[in-house]
Amino acid sequence: MGVEVAWISEGREQKQLVGDSYSTISRLATSRWPRLVETTCLRFIDAYGDTVFNQAQLPVLYAEIKTELNFQNSQKDREHLERIIKLIEVAIGKVHTYIIFLGD
């Protein structure tokens, strides 16, 4: 099972979800991202637990995922990251909401 990404309210009400049927995030979070010590957000995404990003962190997360597109050769991985980017774009600036990576 992959790591789903959701835009949630403060009460954990799900507003929008990006599934991970190809385990793209699981793979990146266990192999590539932990080694990226220069990142602020990506290296802390836990493939096995939930990772929550607040409004102050979303612009940084957004920029880091956009940068990740340059390192992905797989079209499926690129498309998946693009869906997450779109989700974050919608969530940025919406008070009392968060982006959560739902680990296995």
**Domain boundary assignment for the chain:** 4-102
3-state secondary structure of 66: helix
Q: Is 4 exposed, middle or buried (0-12, 13-18, 19+ CB in 10 A)?
A: middle
> Which pLDDT does position 30 carry in this prediction?
94
State how far the Cα of 62 lies from the Cα of 53, in Å rounded to an integer.
11
State how far the Cα of 80 lies from the Cα of 19, in Å rounded to an integer.
9
Q: Can you give the pTM of this predicted structure?
A: 0.94
Chain centroid to CA 36: 15
Q: Which residues of the chain fall short of a pLDDT of 70?
A: 1
